[in-house]
Amino acid sequence: MIRSGACGSRHLNRMAIWGGFTANGLFLEAFSSILETFQAVCYQTVI
């Protein structure tokens, strides 16, 4: 039971890490686009 549990958790960790990388990539893309929009609005407001 312990051995199978370790294998299962290891597989889940690998999937979680892969999912985390994918989610972070999507989040970074969205965040960068939001930052660009925010900067554009700030520049327009300041100027």
Which pair of tokens denotes residue 13?
A: 């960790």
Separation of alpha carbons 4 and 11, rounded Å: 11
pLDDT on residue 20 = 75
Q: Which residue has the higher pLDDT, 36 or 42?
A: 36
Please state, rounded to an integer, the average pLDDT across all residues of the chain: 74
Count of the separate structural domains present in the chain? 1
What domain range is 30 assigned to? 1-47
| Average pLDDT, integer, range 12-34 | 79
pLDDT band, very low/low/confident/very high, at 36 (cuts 50, 70, 90): very high
Q: Which helix (H) or strand (E) holds 44?
A: helix 2-46
| Average pLDDT, integer, range 3-25 | 67
